[in-house]
Amino acid sequence: MNKQLKYLAFDIEITRIMPEGVGDWSNYRPLGISCAATLPSDGKPELWYGKTNFGDYASQLSVKETKELVKHLQTRVEAGYMILTWNGLGFDFDILAEESGMHPTCKQLALEHTDMMFHVFCLKGYPLGLDKAAKGMGLAGKPPGITGEMAPRMWAEGRFQEVLDYVQQDVKTLLELAHAIDLERQLRWLSNSGRPQSLPLPSGWLTVKEAENLPLPDTSWMSNPWPRSKFTTWMEK
């Protein structure tokens, strides 16, 4: 990937409070978007959240506000930025398509952006958490004491600034991770058992469209490997 390429890190948080331990959230849709953050590699973070008629925080972004977010992403891409996410293919853009009603646009943005987690998944056959990847590369990672699962409840409780700080830290981490791997051309992390792992990335990050064309990894050792379609099924609707 061209080192001169400008990045735009992107992340959303949902409003739906999920029951503890639920892995499949498809039965709980629509999920709503409480807030989002974008961070250009040559600029400052931009925060997106719903506002009431009185200018207060709203429970979630309206359809109009969500469309404005999609158009902002479009504009950035047209200006030469590469959108960066961690699981944006199977999560952020899926939800963005549903909430905005701009399915074709979100599909195109998803295919042409870089989902770092999906790239790793296509190479290894299993997903990797952003915090684990960041800390493996010597970065600060996510703020302590908050997880993505906690964010919807915190938003509902009116802890708006804490959630905004959390999503802002996520896009900062995304950008730092992308730059670190652009320099080292490898991803390092610790396995669940504490063993050092590394993944060479000699060509840097791939777009979703490019990663989909990678050969399937050997997952014969896994009892129930995920298919790539787990992340792309929403685009076929």
pLDDT at position 194: 84
Check pLDDT > 50 for residue 37: yes
Bridging pattern class, strands 114-115 and 6-14: unpaired
Check pLDDT > 50 for residue 196: yes
Q: Cβ–Cβ contacts within 10 Å for residue 237, how many?
A: 9
pLDDT at position 1: 41
Structural domains for the chain: 6-236 (3.30.420.10)
Task: Flag the least confident range among 12-26, 29-43, 95-109.
Answer: 12-26
Task: Flag the least confident range among 30-44, 48-62, 144-158, 209-223.
Answer: 144-158
pLDDT band of 4, cuts 50, 70, 90: low
Residues 49-81: pLDDT tens digits?
999 988 899 999 999 999 999 999 999 999 999
Tell me what the mean pLDDT of segment 117-125 comes to. Answer: 97
pLDDT at position 2: 43
pLDDT at position 25: 76
pTM attached to this predicted model: 0.94
